[in-house]
Structure 1
Amino acid sequence: MTEEQAKKERKGSDNNTIFIGGKPFMNYVTGVVMQITTKGAREVVIRARGKFISRAVDVAEVAAKKFLKEQNIAVKDIKIDSEEFENKEGRKVNVSTIDITLARK
C-alpha cells in the first residue's frame, strides 16, 4: 500500500475516530464509550502520534475492559506507522503514529 492510499484510508474513517492529545485521560475514554453506546458505532479508531501513543493504548484498554465489558468490545486492529514533517527549525522529523481499532466481537 502506498503512502497516499494509507492516507486516503485513514481519512475515510474520521467520523468514528478519536484523536488523542493533551486533554485529560477520561475525556478520551468517555468519547470512545459515547461513540459505541450512544451513537451505535460498530467500531471506533483511536489515533495518536508521538508521546501520546502510550495514552492511546491506555484509553483503548480502559474503555474496552472497564467501561464496555458488557458490550463485547475488543481490539480489532492495530496499525503503526511514521510520518515525516518539518519542525520549527526546518529539519525533517519522523513521528511515530498508532491507530487502534476497537470493534464489537
Structure 2
Amino acid sequence: MERDEHRRITGYTPETEWDETEREWMLALDDYEHSLCPQCGMPISVCHDEQTPFHFTAEAGVCQISLMQSLKLDEWKKDHANENELKRSALTVGIKPR
C-alpha cells in the first residue's frame, strides 16, 4: 500500500497470486496432465506403445462404487420413467459414508 504524509492510502499494488516457484509447479503439472491419455489416464508414451501388452497385464474387477452408482441410476430411471431423456442423460450419483 502506498500512503501519504497523513497515512491515508493513496495507492495499492496487489501481490501476484502465485510466486515464480508456484507458477513453475503449475506449468509442470499442466505439462504432466497433458502427457496422460484421456481414455485410460496412463502416460501416452506407455498406452500408445504397441509393445505395452508385452510389459503389462490386465485384471478385471468390479468397482463397488461404480456398481452402487449404476444401481442407483437404474432405480431412479425406473421411478422417473416419464422424465425427458435429456434430464435422464445428465444424472449424477453422490456416494456418502453410512
Q: What TM-score, normalized by structure 1, do the two folds share?
A: 0.21
Taking CA–CA contacts closer than 8 Å with sequence separation of 6 or more, which of the two structures ends up with the larger relative contact order?
1
Structure ID, larger Rg: 2
Q: What TM-score, normalized by structure 2, do the two folds share?
A: 0.22
